[in-house]
Amino acid sequence: MESTIRLSTAHAQVLEKQHARAAHLDAQKAKARLREIGIDMFSFDERVGYLKKYGNHCLSFSAFQPNMHFFDISGIGYIAYRKKWGTRFVLADPVCHVNDREFLVGEFLKDRANTAFIQISESFAELLHDKFGLYATQFGIESVIDLKNWNLKGKKKQVLRTSINKAQKDGVRFMEMNGQNIDDELSREWIRTRKVRRKEVVFLIRPRDQEFQEGTRRFYAFLDDELLGFIHFDPIYEDGRIVAYVPNISRFSPKFKQGIFYPLMVHAMETFQSEGVPYLYLGLSPMVAADEDMPCESGILKWMVRLLYKYGNILYSFKGLHFTKSRFAGVEVKTFCAHREWLPAKSMLTVFRISNII
How far is the C-alpha of 100 from the C-alpha of 53, rounded, in Å?
14
Around Cβ 289, how many Cβ atoms within 10 Å? 22
pLDDT of amino acid 219? 97
How far is the C-alpha of 357 from the C-alpha of 89, rounded, in Å?
16
> Is-contact 202 354, C-beta < 8 A?
yes
How far is the C-alpha of 357 from the C-alpha of 349, rounded, in Å?
10
pLDDT of amino acid 346? 82
Fill in the amino acid letter for 195. K
How far is the C-alpha of 337 from the C-alpha of 317, rounded, in Å?
20
Q: What are phi and psi of 98, to 5 degrees?
A: -60, -30
pLDDT of amino acid 328? 96
Q: Would you write out the chain's pLDDT as a tens digit for each of its 358 residues?
A: 444 444 455 554 554 555 555 555 555 555 555 689 999 999 999 999 999 999 999 999 999 999 999 999 999 999 999 999 999 999 999 999 999 999 999 999 999 999 999 999 999 999 999 999 999 999 999 999 999 999 999 999 999 999 999 999 999 999 999 877 788 888 887 777 765 555 677 888 899 989 999 999 999 999 999 999 999 999 999 999 999 999 999 998 877 666 799 999 999 999 999 999 999 999 999 999 999 999 999 999 999 999 999 999 887 889 999 999 999 999 999 999 999 988 887 887 888 788 876 6
pLDDT of amino acid 344? 85
CB within 8 Å of 122: residues ≥ 6 apart:
333, 334, 335, 336
How far is the C-alpha of 54 from the C-alpha of 97, rounded, in Å?
6
pLDDT of amino acid 4? 43
DSSP labels, 284-310: EEET---SSPPTTS-HHHHHHHHHHHH
Burial of 315 (0-12, 13-18, 19+ CB in 10 A): middle
How far is the C-alpha of 59 from the C-alpha of 138, rounded, in Å?
17
pLDDT of amino acid 352? 75
pLDDT of amino acid 28? 59
pLDDT digits (tens, 9 = 90+) for 130-163: 999 999 999 999 999 999 999 999 999 999 999 9
Task: Name all domains of the chain by residue range, CATH numbers in brackets.
Answer: 37-139+286-310+335-354 (3.40.630), 144-283 (3.40.630.30)
> Is-contact 248 91, C-beta < 8 A?
no
How far is the C-alpha of 74 from the C-alpha of 166, rounded, in Å?
53
* C-alpha to C-alpha distances, 77 to 56, 64, 188, 237, nearest whole angstrom: 13, 14, 37, 14
Q: Beta 226-238 vs 241-252: how paired, if at all?
A: antiparallel
pLDDT of amino acid 30? 53
How far is the C-alpha of 128 from the C-alpha of 117, rounded, in Å?
9
